[in-house]
Structure 1
Amino acid sequence: MTKAVNDKVVVKDYFNATGFDRWRRIYGDGEVNKVQRDIRVGHQKTIDTVIEWLEADGNLSNIMICDAGCGVGSLAIPLAQAGAKVYASDISEKMVTEAAKRAQETLGYSNSIAFTVQDLESLSGKYHTVICLDVLIHYPVPDAAKMITHLASLADSRLILSFAPKTFFLSILKKVGEFFPGPSKATRAYQHKEADIIKILQDNGFTIKRTSMTSTRFYFSRILEAVR
Structure 2
Amino acid sequence: MESYRATRSQIEDYFDRTAVDAWSKLTSDAPVSRIRATVRAGREAMRDTLLGWLPADLTGARILDAGCGTGMLATEAARRGGDVVAVDLSPNLIRLARERVPQRFESGRVVFQEGDMLDPALGDFDYVVAMDSVIHYNAPDMHEMIVAMTARARHGVLVTFAPRTMLLSLMHATGRLFPRSDRAPQIKPVGDRRLRRMVAADDRLAAWQTGRSARIARGFYISQALELSR
Q: 1:181 to 1:27 in 2, by over 3 A?
A: farther
Q: Could you tell me how far 1:89 is from its partner in structure 2?
A: 0.3
Equivalent in the alignment of 1:210: 212
Distance (whole Å) between structure 1 residues aligned to residue 60 and residue 182 of structure 2: 39
Could you say which residue in structure 1 is the equivalent of 2:147? 149
Partner Cα separation in structure 1 for residue 104 and residue 30 of structure 2? 21
Q: 1:219 offset after TM fit, Å?
A: 0.4
- In the aligned structure 2, how far is the partner of 1:16 from the partner of 1:108? 28
1:225 paired with 2:227, answer: yes
Query: What one-letter code is carried by the residue in structure 1 that aligns with 2:98?
Result: A
Q: What is the aligned partner in structure 1 of residue 10 from structure 2? A: 10
Relative to total residues, which structure has the larger helix share, 1 or 2?
1
Q: Residue 43 of structure 1: SS of its match in structure 2?
A: helix
SS at match of 2:163: coil
Q: Using the alignment, how far apart are the partners of 1:115 and 1:222 within structure 2? A: 25
Q: Count the aligned residue pairs.
A: 224
Contact 2:39-2:218 within 8 A present in 1 as well: yes
Structure 1: distance between partners of 2:18 and 2:106: 30
Q: In structure 2, do the counterparts of structure 1 residues 37 and 138 end up closer, same or farther at CA, with 3 Å as the change threshold?
A: same
In structure 2, the CA distance between the partners of 1:130 and 1:2, relative to structure 1 (3 Å rule), is closer
Could you tell me how far apart the structure 1 residues matched to 2:197 and 2:67 are? 22
Cα deviation, residue 44, structure 1: 0.6
With structure 1 as the length reference, what TM-score do the two structures score? Answer: 0.88
Is the CA contact 2:80–2:108 (under 8 Å) kept in the aligned structure 1?
A: no
The equivalent residue for 1:99 is 97
Change (3 A) 1:191 1:181: farther
Find the aligned partners of 1:53 and 1:97 in 2 and give their Cα distance.
28
Determine the structure 2 residue equivalent to 1:26.
26
Q: Distance in 2 between matches of 1:174 and 1:162?
A: 18
> 2 CA distance for matches of 1:67 and 1:171?
28
The percentage of aligned residue pairs carrying the same residue is: 29
Question: After the TM superposition, which residues 6-155 of structure 1 pair with which residues of structure 2 at under 5 Å, given as runs?
Answer: 6-54=6-54, 57-104=55-102, 112-123=109-120, 124-155=122-153
Secondary structure of 1:16's counterpart equals helix
Is 1:161 aligned to 2:138, yes or no? no
Q: Which moved more, 1:86-95 or 1:57-66?
A: 57-66
Structure 1 unmatched ranges of 5 or more: none
Counterpart code for 1:120? M
CA distance in 2, matches of 1:27, 1:182: 24
Structure 2, unaligned runs of 5 or more: none
Amino acid at match of 2:25: R
| d(CA) in 1 for partners of 2:192, 2:144 | 16
DSSP-derived class of the 2:5 partner: helix
Per the TM alignment, residue 121 of structure 1 is displaced from its structure 2 partner at its CA by 2.8
Classify the secondary structure of the residue corresponding to 2:113. strand
CA 1:58–1:108: 2 relative to 1, 3 Å? closer
Of stretches 15-24 and 69-78 in structure 1, the one that deviates more from structure 2 is: 15-24
Shift of 1:158: 0.2
Alignment TM-score, normalising by the size of structure 2:
0.87
CA distance in 1, matches of 2:139, 2:19: 23
Q: Distance in 2 between matches of 1:5 and 1:87?
A: 22
CA, structure 1 residues 150+103, in 2 after alignment: closer, same or farther (shift >3 Å)?
Answer: same
Deviation of the 1:21 alpha carbon = 1.2
